[in-house]
Amino acid sequence: MIKFIFKLFWFVIPILFYCISSIILTPFIISQIHGPSTEQQIRSSFKNVITEEKYDLIILGNSRTYRGLNPEFFDFNTFNFSHDNDNYNQIFYKLKFLLQENIQFDYLILGTDYFQFNYKSGTRNYIYGDLLSNEYLEDYEEDNKIILKLEHYINTINPRIFLNLPTISIIC
């Protein structure tokens, strides 16, 4: 029995080490090669919107406003709070977040697409579940915050992530 436990120990320890190191290191490695991850972008957006200054304009919407409207080209204090694949449900709760945090603004640009009226994407709920109110996740009946995080971490430890990374060729 002790031999079995010893062999099991030597089998489980490398797997456990791989999983823990992947959860910690993989996001860092990927972000160094491809830039900030979706989670890093969204979290920094929520962190950066909370300031003492008053905004003249807030931009909310999906990828068309996130990538299409650069706040630097506006003549007044503007913050782009949009993100890829945001739908009206996420935009609504982001707006509630701004109001709860007493973020002052005079104008709002709301990017719209006609197909978004019947579309409710939950692909970013592993992030938005932490950042928006619990009421937000109640709109997604099948989503549980713990399951969403677990799925995210399982995808993080998948070794196939590294198959798409660019290779470095060294000329001798």
Q: Residue 116's pLDDT is what? A: 67
Q: Residue 83's pLDDT is what? A: 92
Relative orientation angle of helices 2-34 and 145-156, to the nearest 10 degrees = 90
The whole-angstrom separation of Cα 26 and Cα 157 is 8
**Nearest-5° angle of CA 79, CA 112, CA 124?**
70
SS3 36: coil
- β-strand partners of 109: 59
| Domain boundaries, given as residue ranges, for the chain | 36-141
Q: Residue 3's pLDDT is what? A: 80
The whole-angstrom separation of Cα 43 and Cα 40 is 5
The tens place of each residue's pLDDT in the chain, 172 residues long, gives 788 787 777 778 887 887 777 777 777 777 777 788 888 899 999 999 998 778 999 999 988 999 999 999 999 999 999 998 888 889 999 999 999 999 989 999 998 877 666 777 777 888 888 898 888 888 877 766 667 777 766 666 666 666 666 655 555 5
The whole-angstrom separation of Cα 100 and Cα 53 is 16
What residues contact residue 74 under an 8 Å CB cut-off, 6+ apart?
Answer: 56, 57
Q: Which residue has the tokens 């200054």?
A: 53
- β-strand partners of 105: 55
- Residue 90 token pair: 């996420």
Q: Where are the alpha helices (DSSP H) in the chain?
A: 2-34, 38-49, 63-68, 88-100, 125-131, 134-138, 145-156
- Cβ pair 111, 59 in contact under 8 A: yes
